[in-house]
Homo-oligomer: A and B are copies of this chain.
Amino acid sequence: MERRHFLTSSIGLSVAAATATPGWAKAPTRRPNIVLLLCDDLGYGDLGANGAKLIRTPHLDALARSGVRFTNFFASANICSQSRAGLFTGRFAVRSGMANGVIQANDKTGLPPEEVTIAEMLKPDYATALIGKWHLGHVAPYWPPRVQGFDYFYGLPYSHNMVPLSLYSSGEGVDLITEDLDFHRLTAKFIDRGIQFIDDNRARPFFLTLALTAPHTPLDPNPDEHHHSPAGDYGDIVEEVDTGLGRVMAKLKALGLERDTLVLVTSDNGPWFEGSSGDSRDRKGGAGWDGGYRVPFIASQPGRIPAGQVSDALAMNIDFLPTLATWTGAALPDRELDGRDISRVITDRIPSPHDDLLLFDDTQVTGIRTKRWKLVKYSYYRGYKLDLGKYMISRQGALLFDLDQDPAELYSVASRHPEVFAALMKRMTDAQAKYDALAPKA
C-alpha cells in the first residue's frame, strides 16, 4: 500500500530501491521470455478477478492468482494508437506526434522509425513478434512493424472496424501478403500463430506481443466455441480471449517455460460502447475520467513474482519499457522516458515511483491523478468538449475528486482542499507547457 502524502517526493524511495536486495535476485539464468497479451478495448470490470459477474474468465483469474493484479493501472491514452505508442516506447504519444486521434485507414502517419520500441530495445538478444493489431502506421516508412523491431508480424494494420482492411503477414524475406479476413476466428488465429511463435523460439529468449483485436467491435464470436455468455457477444469474445490465454499458458507449461516467462495482460484503453469500467466513470475516449484509462493489468512469472498479490500502486503502460529493461537486463534507449521502472513494485511491493499520472486527451492534459486525488479539467458533453472551468461549471476552474471516498468521480471537493487543488493544477499546467514544447511541430 502506498501511503505517502501525494506531494512527497520520491527521492527517498529511489535510494531505498537502490540499496535493498531485489526480490528477483533469484532470477532464472536464462533471459526471461515475455508474453504480452494486449487486448483492444477490454474493460477493467470485464474480468472475473476485477468483479465481473456476467463473464467467466477462469484463466485470467488464475493468472492473477499466480502473480499480481493491479487495481490502479492506466493506459497512457484513452484511445488506441496513442496508448500503443506510449506502451511500446515508454513515452507519451505527444512526443512522437501520435497524439492526434487514432490512425485511420486513409492516414499516412505513423510512429516515427527513430522512436525506440520495447522490441528494438530487446534486439538482438530476443526473437520478437507482434501478432494482431498494429495501428501505429500502415504506409512507409512506418510499415510493416519490422521497422520497429518486430521480426515477425501477423495481423491487421489498424482496427478491424475500419475499411478497407486486410490481414497481413511479414517475416524475414517474405513479402507482405494479404489474406481473407474471417472475423469469427481472428482471436483463435492470433492465438494459434502466437503458440507457433513460442514453439519456434522455445530455445531462445522471445518477446511476443499478442495484440488481440478482441473485444473491440465488431463482435463476431467463434462458432467453434460455445460460450453463450449472459453478457452476449461481448461476453463470448472476452471468454475467447480467456480461452486463448489458457492455450498459451498450457503451451508454456508443456515446453517447461512457465518459470522462464513473464506473462503480462492489459488493455489499450477503457471499454467502448460495451464492456465495464468497473467502478470508474465513463469509458474509452471520454476525456479526463478514469474509465477511459484504467485497465486490467496482471503480471505473472512463477518464482520471480510472488503469487496472490493485489496492488493498488499507481502505474501506467509507459512503465513497460523501463520495467522490461530491468527485467531482461537490456540497455535503456538513450532518451527521456515518461515511464518508470515498476519491476520492484511488482516483485517487492515497494511504493510506486509515480507521484502522479498524466491523462492525455490527444495533446491536452485533461486530467491528473495521484493515488488519492484526481483533477479533471475537460469533459465531452454531447457534441462538444468543455473546459470544466468555464461556463460556471466549476467555480474553481476544474473538478477535484477524493478517490478514497468517491472512486466514481461524482462530487468535486475543490472548495474543501484548495491546497491540493492548486498543487495539482500547477502540475497539470506545467506538464502541458512541457509537452507542448516537446511535441513535433506540424
**CB within 8 Å of B: which residues of A?**
43, 45, 54-55, 160-161, 217-220, 228-235, 271-276, 285-286, 379-385, 388, 391-395, 399, 402, 405-406, 408, 410-416
A229 to chain B: which residues have CB within 8 Å? Answer: 411
Instruction: List chain B residues, Cβ under 8 A from A235.
Output: 411
Scoring A379, A382, A408 by chain B CB atoms within 10 A of each residue's CB, the highest score goes to A382
Q: How far is the CA of A45 from the CA of B406 in the complex (A)?
A: 13
Are A381 and B411 neighbours in the complex by a CB distance under 8 Å?
A: no
Tell me the interface secondary structure of chain A in the complex.
loop
A399 to chain B, nearest CB (A): 7
Instruction: Known A285-B382, A380-B382, A411-B54; judge A273-B393 contact (CB<8 A).
Output: yes
Tell me how many chains of this kind the complex includes: 2
- Give the residue name and chain of the B residue nearest to A390 (CB): B161
Q: State whether B379 touches A273 (Cβ < 8 A).
A: yes
Inter-chain contact B415/A232, CB cutoff 8 Å = yes
A231 to B273, CA, bound (A): 29
- Contact between A380 and B380 (Cβ–Cβ < 8 Å)? yes
Q: Do B232 and A414 have beta carbons less than 8 Å apart?
A: yes
Given the complex, which residues of B lie within 8 Å of A45, measured CB to CB? 410
A388, closest chain B residue (CB): B273
Cβ B412 vs Cβ A234 within 8 A: yes
Residues of B within 8 A of A414 (CB): 232
Compute how far the CA of A330 lies from the CA of B226 in the bound complex, rounded to whole angstroms: 59
Query: Are A411 and B273 in contact (CB-based, < 8 A)?
Result: no
Cβ-defined contact, B232 with A391, below 8 A: no
Least CB distance, A20 to chain B, in whole angstroms = 38
Complex interface: chain B residues within 8 A of A406 (CB):
54, 231
A360 to chain B, nearest CB (A): 14
Residues in B neighbouring A230, C-beta threshold 8 A: 402, 405, 411, 413
Is the pair B273, A232 in contact by a Cβ cutoff of 8 Å?
A: no
